[in-house]
Amino acid sequence: MADLFTDVRFVKGVGEQRAKALQKLGIATLGDLISWFPRRYEDRREVRTIAELEPGVSACVAAMIADTPVVSHIRKGMDLVKVRAVDATGTLDVTFFNQTWLKTSLVKGQTYIFYGKAEGYQAHRRMASPVVELEGKQEFTGRIVPIYPLTAGVSQLILSRSIRQGLNACTGILQDVLPDEVRREYQLCAAGFAYENIHFPENEEALALARRRLAFEELFLFAAGLRRIRQNQETVQVPPCHKVDMDAFYSALPFTLTGAQRRCVEEALADMCSGTPMNRLCQGDVGSGKTMVAAACVYFCVKNNRQAALMAPTEILARQHYAGLAPLLEPLGIRCALLTGSSSAKEKRTICTQLAAGELDFVTGTHALISGGVEYASLGLVVTDEQHRFGVAQRAALAAKGAHPHTLVMSATPIPRTLALILYRDLDVSIIDQLPPGRQTIETYAVPGSYHTRVYNFIRKLTAEGRQTYIVCSQVSESEEQPDERKAVTQYAKDLQERVFPDLRVAFVHGKMKPKEKDAVMTAFAAHEMDILVSTTVIEVGVDVPNAAVMVVENAERFGLSQLHQLRGRVGRGSHQSYCILISDNRNEETRRRLQVMTKTADGFKIAEEDLRLRGPGDFFGQRQHGLPGLKIADTGCDTKLLQDAQAAADALLERDPELASCPAAAERIAQLFTQAEGTLN
């Protein structure tokens, strides 16, 4: 009998070839398959007439094929199928790209349902590459349709059908990890209903019930696991640090710390003097000065005769931290080094020897800091940058290099304080809620795609003044589905270089490139060897480029507000006036309101709160922001009460049953969730 660990190859209807494609998404088991949640939904239940179609708005229309489809060969790799469809109110001219089989499958005189964006006006409309299904035999129209994250070789059709087969295989084996009393108390639906309706919702109400249940479950397991981590941490005693005169450190700074920075430093130093290991999140908006808080903690730690390490998610960010901190700390007698994957073998040997011998006080680096050959004489402080890029496992691995070192994690991801306290409850939370004086406001505009020419002219003007530009797109390459909907990085960069800016230097970078390739492009951009960098959100966390003054975000409606705020923070880091231009043709009122928030405030925490207020827990048809570490479906779009309820339920259960003996399914899932941080939960 199958279980959730069954290899996806053996799920009926999946097979070897489809399983290989699913592996690219990280789907290896039946459990992975049914937990591959949609990123959004499209309501395709209403069928309109041709005359009722609104230009630029996705909708379903029922129309009869009026003429035999015609195939046109445009160029190598590009064939068009054109067909005319009609109803009593008008004519619809439909074009399909590279779908030549439709010439024979679309039959004159039969009625089909088309789903897509119409153009044109009155009784004569056009539609490019819509979903098309024979009326009465619909699979992807006539219902609420989930839209999944994809990769090359995996279409919505393949994924949807595979998940359907997976859910069928789960009949009778899907355990409910939530105790019955928890489900009753918080009025949560059963697991089977939730999984069925998160993928194939009967209606909005069923979808809301499913999502609430699965988000609650995820937060419940996360909260229970973190409580067990915290319980373990609280039992550990370490020699308290002695107080240090910090005046020498503060005097060495070329500026005065803000009151918020000083408060965060004092909170961290108090932790380090308490006799238990510090586990603190320092959360601050882009440019608020979190790194200086970390530097103060490093100074304090080293003056207590212990070593410190700072781990960054990318090599280029590690180098940036080293370049900023070493000149500050070395004159204060702190011996610094940089250790990354590209350090030479000789450099690595020397640094490892010095760390083990206690001849280095502070090392900055990437994941290289947690590699097997790195040992520390007396590691007293671990700092990790960009908390959302590191899981519990990596923090635990670095902390394991010392005897219960103090931990400080930094994050520029704005999360409302209440949510941060719940979601990072293995950490105490410090918030830097002030920006240093003189920080420039980034002028932000939300404009339609018709402004592209004006935007390009503006970029050219600023380039002539010596500035640089980021252009962010929402995917890597054009997909066969919806080829016109998203600006794709590689093709867009090519078009800009060949058609728009042939005289400028255009480069691109995306997450599917090798780390060394990405770093090489970012380093070249930082050195002003490029004028324009076309990118995915891989640059959301990256190197400071003080000369970059323009951030253009294509299809801005596809990003969460907090993510847009992070992207905006890539510019405005120098002395030049900077600009953020959000381009969107989405005419949805919700999108308009959300993008207006970006134009009105630069406060990341206000943006996060406003995002929460605007979208609320019931907005399933809009774009969701990326989930937090370990969370697939719950995110900052959940209402605070759901988070609090999940935490309360987890706390109550663990009070009664600390080992979860009465809930083996929950215990097993929690162990899986934190499996890489071995020893942390035991």
Q: Is 433 helix (H, G, I), strand (E, B) or coil?
A: coil
CA–CA distance, 609 with 597 (Å, rounded to integer):
11
Can you say how many angstroms the Cα of residue 65 is from the centroid of all Cα atoms in its chain? 42
Distance CA 523, CA 545 (A): 9
In order, the DSSP letters of 355-382 are HHHT--SEEEESGGGGSTT---SSEEEE
Euclidean distance between CA atoms 143 and 140, whole angstroms: 7
CA distance 170 to 29: 12
Contact 383, 307 (CB under 8 A): no
Locate 336 and state its tokens: 């610094």
Average pLDDT over residues 86-94: 91
Task: Report the pLDDT averaged over residues 149-160.
Answer: 80
Q: Please, how many CA atoms are within 13 Å of residue 223, restricted to the half-sphere of its CB?
A: 25
What pLDDT does residue 553 have?
A: 94
Residue 675 confidence (pLDDT) above 70: no
Beta strands in 214-365 (DSSP E): 279-284, 307-311, 336-339, 362-365
Q: Minimal CA–CA distance to 216: which of 659, 680, 653, 643?
A: 643
Going by their DSSP bridges, the two strands 406-411 and 279-284 should be labelled as: parallel
C-alpha span between 279 and 292 (Å, rounded)? 18
* Complete DSSP assignment for 155-208: -HHHHHHHHHHHHHHTTTT----S-HHHHHHTT---HHHHHHHHHS-SSHHHHH
The angle at the Cα of 597, spanning 492 to 585, to the nearest 5 degrees, equals 35
- Rounded CA gap, 321 and 541, in Å? 13
Banded model confidence at residue 367, pLDDT cuts 50, 70, 90? confident
Average pLDDT over residues 624-652: 66
599 touches 564 (CB < 8 A): no
- Compute the distance between CA of residue 373 and CA of residue 348 in angstroms, rounded to an integer: 9
Between CA 675 and CA 306 the distance in angstroms is 30
Which tokens belong to 466?
């010596």
Q: How confident is the model at residue 640 (pLDDT cuts 50, 70, 90)?
A: low
List the Cα angle 242/245/248 in 5-degree steps. 140
DSSP state at residue 3: -
CB 539 within 8 A of CB 526: no
Residue-averaged pLDDT of the chain: 83
The percentage of residues in the chain with a pLDDT greater than 90, rounded to a whole number, is 35
Higher pLDDT, 88 or 397: 88
b/e for 284-308, b at 16 or more Cβ within 10 A? Answer: bbbbbbbbbbbbbbbbbbbbbebbb
Task: Count CA atoms closer than 13 A to 476's CA, side-chain side.
Answer: 10
Classify residue 494 as exposed, middle or buried by CB count within 10 Å of its CB (0-12, 13-18, 19+).
middle
What is the arithmetic mean of pLDDT over 338-366? Answer: 92
Q: Residue 33 corresponds to which tokens in the numbers above? A: 């398959």
Q: Taking a C-beta distance cutoff of 8 angstroms, is the pair 665, 176 a contact? A: yes
Torsion angle (degrees, nearest 10) of CA 152, 672, 230, 210: 70
| Domains defined for the chain, CATH in brackets | 1-42+153-171 (1.10.150), 46-142 (2.40.50.140), 240-275+289-411 (3.40.50.300), 443-601 (3.40.50.300)
What is the per-residue pLDDT for 456?
96
pLDDT tens, residue by residue, 398-421: 777 888 899 898 887 666 655 666
3-class DSSP string for 563-610: HHHHHHCCCCCCCCCCEEEEECCCCCHHHHHHHHHHHHCCCHHHHHHH
Confidence of residue 485 (pLDDT cuts 50, 70, 90): very low
Q: Of the given ranges (4-8, 47-51, 159-163, 322-326), which has the lowest mean pLDDT?
A: 4-8
pLDDT tens, position by position, 585-633? 877 777 888 898 899 888 777 777 676 565 543 332 333 333 344 567 7
Q: What is the DSSP string of 615-631?
A: H-TT--SSPPPPPPTT-
Mean pLDDT of 293-317: 92
